Amino acid sequence: MQPPGSPSGSAVAAGGVSATGEVTWEEYSIEAVESYQRQGRAVFVDFTAAWCLSCQVNKRTVLSSNRTEEAFSEADVALLRADWTRRDARIADALQSLGRSGVPVYALYPPVPGAAPELLPEILTHGIVLRALERLPESTALR
């Protein structure tokens, strides 16, 4: 895995939207969240699992939609995916630190080092995601 913000051979930025508009999700790590926050970028973390029906519905109907992807791009939000399909202990610890014990969990970290995330509801809509992005500090808010 490349460090956050490092260019890759395919010119796709880690955890965000490339210059060609391709949306990419980086594997979750708390170090990546902290690195992006230090860079002044907001971070959206999708805590998910293959066996989680709500996760898959939200992914297909909201997170993978053009409307949501464009909003993430406009707000320059880094995108991380925490796949808990195999009940990884590192992700379980992250969930516990957020006061949660299962998936789905959607966490939007502001672009402020060490700032706590806003936790979005388990069932997402475009409006919920867009309003959360609009609440980000002015430096990354939708314009």
- Whether residue 8 is contained in a domain is answered as no
For 91-106, the pLDDT digits (tens) are 999 999 999 999 999 9
- Whether residue 5 is contained in a domain is answered as no
Beta strands in the chain (DSSP E): 16-17, 23-24, 26-27, 43-48, 78-83, 105-109, 118-120
Distance CA 77, CA 63 (A): 13
Q: What is the tally of structural domains in the chain?
A: 1
> Residue 94's domain is classified under what CATH number?
3.40.30.10
Q: Give the domain extent around 67.
A: 16-134
Please give the model's pTM, rounded to 2 decimal places: 0.85
For 9-66, the pLDDT digits (tens) are 333 345 666 555 678 999 999 999 999 999 999 999 999 999 999 999 999 999 999 9
- Whether residue 106 is contained in a domain is answered as yes
